[in-house]
Amino acid sequence: MKKIFLDNITLPEQLRQLNEKNLPTVCNELRQFIIDHVAQTGGHFASNLGSVELTVALHYVFNTPEDEIVWDTGHQAYPHKILTGRKGKFDTIRKYKGLSGFPSPEESPYDTYYVGHAGTSISVALGLAKARDLKNKNNHITAVIGDGALTSGLAFEGLNNSHNAKRFIVILNDNEVSISKTMGAFAKHFSKIVANPKFRNFKQKTGRVIAKIPIVGNAITRIILRLQGGIKHILAPQNVFENLGFHYIGPIDGHNVKELVEILRMCKTETEMPVLLHVMTKKGYGFKPAESDPESYHGVTPFDKTVGLSNGEKSAPTYTETFSEIICNAADENKKIVVISAAMCSGTGMTKFAKENPKRFVDVGIAEQHAVTFAGGLAARGMIPVVTIYSTFLQRAYDEIEHDVCLPNLPVIFAVDRAGLVGGDGKTHHGVFDISYLRHLPNMKIFMPRDKIAMEKVLAFAIENKSPCAIRYPRGEVLQSTCNLPDFAEEKITSWEILKSGDDIILIAIGQMVSRAFKTAEILEKNGINATVIDACAIQPLDEKTLLFVAEKCKKIVTLEDHILAGGFGAAIVEKLSDENINCKIVRIGIEGKFIEHGSINELYSELGWQPERLAEKIIEEMKITKS
């Protein structure tokens, strides 16, 4: 369907040429464009529908890209991408070799910084502002952060350091939702601000009237802004942002684009102190199903926009769903289990646990460092804390894992979801570093169960264990149970499982690479090469007995992991065999020191050369194996 204005907007310059009265139509067209395309491609949905008016207003008022906008997390930046030269490629978003689902400077000069993890925008924007000042420039810097991301400790570190910033605006996009509902005292504080309309109504009514006075209206408006602080003390309580040195404005309606334009123009006039503009939006705005259920519509697969999401045919359970079932069953038996989430209750599959065990579930908000140290405190007093977290977010709490869990040797269980490649979210979200930063920590045990039975037995061991334990599992459907692991006695649970025996070569794999190792072995067998295939569920400690046995038997070993090679599982094998003075030919299959782009898992595996046929070719070539 033809869009009167949006069809003629390629870059923000065209947007800024429009009459202000046409902006609501632009917003409607932009919102419909997102609905039409994301329904076909999938991707982040509800958050982008909620940021349409704010995005249009920002690009209309500010001279982007000279005036710089830093988006926090970035899953609300689809409107920004559409208005900044990427509308024609939007059907490629999150697809292999297509547009990134997050801001990326490689794509556009309008994307000021790489984004993907929450809480970074204020610190980044402050750094840009400082660099601008040192270069004697006078452009504006704006950071856009959601109320969920503002629970991040990093965000408050940035706010605390911003008190002297000039031409610096922080926009709090407050929709009361991160992915799950925003939790904690700051969410309550925002609610109190919103609930007290006295000052908001006064400012909005007087501001509109005064600004319309010919010639002197804008000048008087600037004076009103200077006087606002005193008026606030009379009409409304002081808030935390004012105490941090910000000129606070709001809250205002984030879906009234004309009002947003007015207020942003006023914000531009304040150049001597930082401004915090509090904007109220609704996640999923303009699409009723997403408005009523923003959590389900946060990230979507393709759907019929006329009916919304449907349950459809039930697919096989995922690793996340499987862990959810197992931890719920375990918690029924053991009342010491406490689950901790960092604003990812639904993402980590803990909705059911939270509902069944409300007193033993804690959502700390986007505060991974706090989640880990909080878990340490629980463990120090006899509880069994389970930190459910994506691999890519766990790395944000490295110091706390080392200092507050491993050093005191506390039995904290880390349920490391999304371990390995994750697909469309791309390089900011692939979980390919955790083995490297966990395995060198004293007292830490690491497992990667390949199916439900193995996961049950590993979790049972971790619950009885008296030291830190990480259980890694990938995104996607769980493998059918074929595991023959024994019960959870430590000397048994750390044993590797030999799935196939052969005398010519040893394939040792973890996680999703186990099935590929098995298929590779079948291809090798057709070439007259007999391979042993081992599932190394226990990554740390290594099953030294099995490793040394097979290494002595066969001097050719291949390790397979969907993880960075530096410091990874294969590196652990090399180190151990070196320590034991066992001379083997070793080929390590993994990621060689680079960030992996977005795309489907199969496409990414293909790019890396991980199809069984190519793995077999690589092994034959590098090992120079003679047929048995």
Task: Please identify which of the residues 368, 456, 497, 561 carries the catalytic annotation.
Answer: 368
* Mean pLDDT calculated for residue range 555-560: 96
CATH code given to domain 319-493: 3.40.50.970
Q: Six-digit token pair at 239? A: 């808030």
Model pLDDT, residue 201:
46
CA distance 384 to 405: 13
What does 341-358 look like in DSSP terms, one character per residue? ESS-TTTTT-HHHHHH-G
pLDDT at 180 over 90: no
Confidence grade of residue 308 (pLDDT, cut at 50, 70, 90) = confident
Amino acid present at 622: E
Model pLDDT, residue 482:
58
Question: 218-222, 329-333, 594-598: lowest mean pLDDT where?
Answer: 218-222
CATH code given to domain 6-196+237-300: 3.40.50.970
Model pLDDT, residue 206:
46
Q: Name the residue with higher pLDDT: 208 or 354.
A: 354
Cα 441 to chain center, whole Å?
24
CA distance 546 to 537: 12
- Dihedral of CA atoms 155, 160, 165, 169 in degrees, nearest 10, equals 40
Start and end residues for every CATH 3.40.50.970 domain found in the chain: 6-196+237-300, 319-493
Contact 244, 159 (CB under 8 A): yes
Model pLDDT, residue 197:
46
Tell me, yes or no, if 68 is annotated catalytic: no
Q: Give the tens place of pLDDT for each residue, 243-302.
A: 899 999 999 999 999 999 999 999 999 889 999 999 999 999 999 999 999 988 998 989
Task: Please identify which of the residues 81, 200, 282, 283 carries the catalytic annotation.
Answer: 283
Confidence grade of residue 209 (pLDDT, cut at 50, 70, 90) = very low
Confidence grade of residue 525 (pLDDT, cut at 50, 70, 90) = very high
Structural class in CATH, domain 497-623? alpha beta
Q: Which residues contact 88 (CB under 8 A, 6 or more apart)?
A: none
Question: 72-86, 111-125, 458-472, 486-500: lowest mean pLDDT where?
Answer: 486-500
Q: Where are the beta strands (DSSP E) in 309-465?
A: 337-341, 361-363, 384-390, 413-417, 445-447
Give me the long-range contacts of 548-555 (CB less than 8 A, separation at least 24).
Answer: 548/580, 548/582, 550/506, 551/506, 551/577, 551/582, 551/584, 552/582, 553/503, 554/503, 554/504, 554/505, 554/506, 555/583, 555/584, 555/585
Amino acid present at 404: D
Closest alpha carbon to 443 in 369, 541, 574, 372: 541
Confidence grade of residue 481 (pLDDT, cut at 50, 70, 90) = low
Model pLDDT, residue 175:
87
Confidence grade of residue 218 (pLDDT, cut at 50, 70, 90) = low
Instruction: Give the side-chain half-sphere CA count within 13 A for 242.
Output: 13
Task: Please identify which of the residues 31, 86, 396, 418 carries the catalytic annotation.
Answer: 396
Residue with tokens 């530096």: 566
Confidence grade of residue 484 (pLDDT, cut at 50, 70, 90) = low
pLDDT at 231 over 90: no
Phi and psi dihedrals of 497, rounded to 5?
-110, 125
Q: Six-digit token pair at 150? A: 């503002």
Tell me, yes or no, if 617 is annotated catalytic: no
Confidence grade of residue 543 (pLDDT, cut at 50, 70, 90) = very high
Model pLDDT, residue 205:
46
Q: Six-digit token pair at 304? A: 């019929």
Tell me, yes or no, if 368 is annotated catalytic: yes
Q: Name the residue with higher pLDDT: 309 or 103.
A: 103
Instruction: Give the side-chain half-sphere CA count within 13 A for 286.
Output: 24
Q: Give the tens place of pLDDT for each residue, 427-439.
A: 999 999 999 999 9
Model pLDDT, residue 494:
82
CA distance 589 to 440: 20
pLDDT at 224 over 60: no
Mean of pLDDT over the chain = 89
Confidence grade of residue 193 (pLDDT, cut at 50, 70, 90) = very low
Model pLDDT, residue 213:
53
pLDDT at 222 over 70: no
Confidence grade of residue 345 (pLDDT, cut at 50, 70, 90) = very high
DSSP 151: G
Question: 97-111, 128-142, 303-317: lowest mean pLDDT where?
Answer: 303-317
